Structure formats: structure tokens, C-alpha cells
Amino acid sequence: MTDTTGTPARKRLLIRTWGCQMNVYDSARMADVLAPLGYAPTESVEEADMVILNTCHIREKATEKVFSDLGRLREAKQARGGEMVIAVAGCVAQAEGAEITARAPWVDIVLGPQSYHRLPEMVARAARAAGAVIETEFPPEDKFDHLPETAAPQGVTAFLTIQEGCDKFCSFCVVPYTRGAEYSRPVAAILAEARRLVALGAREITLLGQNVNAFHGEGPDGRAWGLGRLVRSLAEVEGLARIRYTTSHPRDMDEDLIAAHAEVPALMPFLHLPVQSGSDRVLRMMNRGHTADDYLRLVERLRAARPDLALSTDIIAGHPGETEADHAATMALIRAVGFAQAFSFKYSARPGTPAATMAGQVEEAAKDARLAEIQALLREQQTAFNRSRAGMVADVLVTGPGRHPGQMAGRTPWLNPVHFEGPESLAGRIVPVKILAGHPNSLTGALAAPLHDQSRERDAA
């Protein structure tokens, strides 16, 4: 529908996003794809003409949470006389599309993470169809080639997907089944998108991928580039001050990428490197392809390259077959590494994954107890790391106002949230902040120099 000038009529779009940063990126691109149809963002279900649930299958009871939300959306749709398009996107949609349409026939569109570039076509088909439109195949074309070059600003920090899918087939993980095989975008397309993000105000870009350090995109020279080479090229983008990447696999951390941590100032000294377990026996059952010693030696090489590197990780408690001795080995690895941040979960079965049918499923009480021990140690390490920042002057990228009047918020190079007093005009700048105290989840600080003396600001970094 258009108005008398030929412009699409104004409609409202609500996207609810669960899960990883890649889902956040995907949600933003879905909004970009639908903008030419006249859809503008809203936070209100009552005024939404279209609602998209962008789902994640990693967390426990993900499917039940989706159906709970869909039940509430059914009431909202009925209140509007049926004039609301409801779509389920992401990994739950990919894995359970048929169940979604069977249990929630009021859903209009079900689409997997490789199909969202087709959303305008799906919206048109849904308007004509009697039932749901389902797109959960892996299409032969590259979705990135069909996304609009224009995009809404993400802010001072932005996400940029460079790689999707995974070929590792860890026993507990659904990603190879919901996102497909590893695929890397061409370097030229990544650089072009990075320049657009910087032009829209981004000072820091986080490169995303299910297996981001397995990146092997085609470079301008026709050869495959690794992530280290891509980072070096991105560091030359004018106005881009900081580069990060996530999530990595220990098997894909090559020497050039390790060297980039030492040689590229824009590459921040923070690395999320999931280990999942400290037990070699469990790592074999997980099909991780590395041992605990492999991981520890990799950490040594990374810290030799960048001594101030902060590490984050993922830990699973209670994978099928895990014993108390295996759990003790995980605790020992955590102590040996010393993590600045971490994400830890108790194992929960994902339908279709090898671990779901393995013998030796661990009792819930044991999983709960082991997870509690792991999280207590990780909290202790995170708090110690944050407190170790006290007294230093850190270059802080100011992301915007804090929670309190006169307060600003930002991020250190090590990804610590930091709060300090300062004017809102600092947003988007990198300023020196004296860290006054470290807390379990954040830092407090004060500007280290008067504003007129901040010539050392890293704006041109």
C-alpha cells in the first residue's frame, strides 16, 4: 500500500531478539530489509503491524519460551482484528518450523537465519496465502548479496557478520544444523560495510561469526584471506578506532591472527575463546578436536603476543558422561587460565544433536552443584580482574549517558563497562579515564585530564 506520493504507507515493526550478537545483527538487517516496505521500528506490541521473534536454540527451553510469547501475540493479533503479521525467525524457526505452524497456526511467516533477505517477498506471499509461509531451506544464493546497502545506524559500537555456519559438529551444538556449513563473506563486501558503519557513527566494530576465526573470505587478490589479514585491512579504515571479533574456536587460532594481536593497535586486547571443558575425556566426547593442554599452550602464545590480553570463555557443566573427576579438571583449567569474563551453563539436550542420545546423562542435581562451583570461581576471577584495573588510566570509548544524571558510560579496551562523570558531548570519543574502583560487573572512574587537554584522545587511532 502506498500514499498519494507513491511512498509506502507507514507501518510499525517490532522485533524481539534472543541469543547471540549474530541474532542482534540479523535483527537489524531484517529491519533494513523491511524499511522500503514502510516499516518503522516500535517497542509496542499494541501498535505493531508486524512482529518478528528472532529466536535462539542455544539456551534451555528455547522452544517453550517462543510458544509462550506466541500465545500472547495471538491475543494481540485478535485484538487488532487479525491485522498483524507474526513471523518467527532464527534458529528455533530453522529447527522446528513444522511444529511452530502446527501449534501456532496464527503465525504467518517462519524463516530460518539464511532466508531473511527474502522477507519482503514472504510478507507479500503471506498477504495472499491462506496458511503460513515457511522458508527454512538453505537457499543457494548468498543472502548478503541481496541485503540493502543502506542500513540504520547501530551507534558508537556496531556488529558486522563476516562468517556464518560451522563445520565442527560439537556434540552439544545445533549450529551446524540451523546455520549450515561454514561460509565466509568476500573481503570487499566486509570492507564496504565497515566503511558504511563508520560513516553512520561507529567507532568500534565487532566482527561476528559462529566460527569467526575460521574466516576464509575471498580477498581482492582472488585468494582466501584469513581473519588476521582481514583485521589488518580493517585497521586502515579511516575513523575505525577499535576492532573486536567473536566467537572463536581454539582449533582456528592461527599464527597470523595471534601476531595481529601484537601488531595491530586497533585490535582490542580481549578475546572470547570457548573451551567448554577442562577434561580431555569430555572434550573428546564433545568432538572439540583439542585437549586441555592444547588450550593452555594456545593461551600462553596469545599472552606472549599481547601480555595485557583479557580472556573470556564458555563452560558447560554436566555434559553426558562427565564425572566428578572431569569436573575437577575443568575447575583446574579455570584456575590455570584466569578469565576476565565467562559464560557458563549446565548441559541441556538439543534435539538432533549427538549428545542428546548419549549414555551417561548427568543428574540435574549434580549439574546444578557443578555449575554453582564453576560460577563461583568465575565470579571470583572476574571481580579480581576488574579490581586489578583500579589505579590505571584506560582509554575509554564513550558509548553514551550512564544511568545517573551527569554520568557517562563507556568500554575499556578489555571490554569492561566503566562509568564516570562527564558531559554528553563525549559520546563517541575515546578519552583517558582514571579507574578508581573495580566492582564485580563494572568499573568506576574519573576523567584523567581536563577536557581541553585531551589532545591525546585516540580519535584517529
Q: Looking at the domain assignment, is residue 283 inside a domain?
A: yes
In DSSP terms, 400 is beta-bridged to 409
Is the pLDDT at 150 greater than 80, yes or no? no
Residues 305 and 238 in one domain: yes
- CA atoms of 134 and 52, how far apart (whole Å): 14
- CA atoms of 241 and 252, how far apart (whole Å): 25
- The CATH number given to whatever domain includes residue 191 is 3.80.30.20
Q: Are 49 and 80 in contact (CB under 8 A)?
A: no
pLDDT of the residue at 439: 96
Among the candidates 368, 388, 408, a domain finishes at 388
Q: Looking at the domain assignment, is residue 41 inside a domain?
A: yes
DSSP run (H or E) holding 397:
strand 393-401
Residues 237 and 288 in one domain: yes
pLDDT interval class at 140 (50, 70, 90): very low
Is the pLDDT at 48 greater than 70, yes or no? yes
Residues 224 and 89 in one domain: no
pLDDT tens for residues 424-455? 999 999 999 999 999 999 999 999 976 554 44
- What percentage of the chain has pLDDT greater than the value 70? 90
Residues 6+ apart with CB under 8 A from 129: none
Ligand-binding site membership of 173 (annotated): yes
Span 315-340, mean pLDDT? 98
* φ and ψ at residue 442, rounded to 5 degrees: -160, 180
Residues 308 and 226 in one domain: yes
- The model's pTM is 0.79
Q: Looking at the domain assignment, is residue 5 inside a domain?
A: no
pLDDT interval class at 37 (50, 70, 90): confident
Number of folded domains in the chain? 3
Residues 382 and 397 in one domain: no
Encode 274-297: b = buried (16+ Cβ within 10 Å), e = exposed. Answer: bbbbbbbebbebbebebebebbee
Q: Looking at the domain assignment, is residue 6 inside a domain?
A: no
- CA atoms of 189 and 231, how far apart (whole Å): 14
Residues 316 and 435 in one domain: no
- The CATH number given to whatever domain includes residue 445 is 2.40.50
Determine the structural domain holding residue 159 and report its residue range: 143-388
Is the pLDDT at 4 greater than 60, yes or no? no
- CA atoms of 127 and 49, how far apart (whole Å): 12
pLDDT of the residue at 143: 54
Residues 247 and 309 in one domain: yes
Omega of the bond leading into 247 within 30 degrees of 0 (cis): yes
Q: Please state whether beta strands 11-17 and 183-184 pair in parallel, antiparallel, or not at all (unpaired).
A: unpaired
Strands (E) across 62-198 are located at: 85-90, 109-111, 133-135, 157-161, 163-164, 183-184
Strands across the sheet with 11-17, in order?
Answer: 39-41, 11-17, 50-55, 85-90, 109-111, 133-135
The shares of helix, strand and coil residues in the chain, as percent rounded to the nearest 5, are 40, 20, 40
- CA atoms of 316 and 320, how far apart (whole Å): 10
Residues 294 and 415 in one domain: no
Span 68-86, mean pLDDT? 90
Residues 384 and 398 in one domain: no
Ligand-binding site membership of 115 (annotated): no
Written as nine digits, the cell of 188 is 570487499
pLDDT tens for residues 12-31? 999 998 877 778 888 888 88
Q: Looking at the domain assignment, is residue 1 inside a domain?
A: no
pLDDT tens for residues 171-205? 998 888 777 889 999 999 999 999 999 999 999 99
pLDDT of the residue at 61: 65
Q: Looking at the domain assignment, is residue 3 inside a domain?
A: no
- CA atoms of 431 and 299, how far apart (whole Å): 30
Q: Which of 302, 225, 315, 231 is nearest to 270 (CA)?
A: 302
State the first-to-last Cα distance of the chain, in angstroms, to the nearest integer: 47
Residues 200 and 317 in one domain: yes
- The CATH number given to whatever domain includes residue 36 is 3.40.50.12160
Ligand-binding site membership of 159 (annotated): no
Written as nine digits, the cell of 373 is 562451583
Min mean pLDDT across 27-41, 133-147, 149-163 is at 133-147
Span 136-144, mean pLDDT? 57
pLDDT of the residue at 343: 93
Ligand-binding site membership of 246 (annotated): no
- CA atoms of 2 and 161, how far apart (whole Å): 33
pLDDT of the residue at 460: 41
Is the pLDDT at 457 greater than 50, yes or no? no
Is the pLDDT at 34 greater than 60, yes or no? yes
Among the candidates 135, 159, 176, a domain finishes at 135
Ligand-binding site membership of 156 (annotated): no
Min mean pLDDT across 91-100, 141-150, 234-243 is at 141-150
Ligand-binding site membership of 442 (annotated): no
Residues 277 and 383 in one domain: yes
pLDDT tens for residues 210-264? 899 999 999 999 999 999 999 999 999 999 999 999 999 999 999 999 999 999 9
Sole residue written with cell 534458529: 91
pLDDT interval class at 459 (50, 70, 90): very low
Among the candidates 135, 161, 184, a domain finishes at 135
Q: Looking at the domain assignment, is residue 461 inside a domain?
A: no
- In the predicted model, what is the mean pLDDT of the chain? 89
Q: Looking at the domain assignment, is residue 4 inside a domain?
A: no
Question: Of residues 153 and 381, which shows the higher confidence score?
Answer: 381
Residues 292 and 167 in one domain: yes
Give me the sign of the Cα torsion angle 29, 34, 40, 45: negative
CB-CB neighbours of 47 under 10 Å: 11
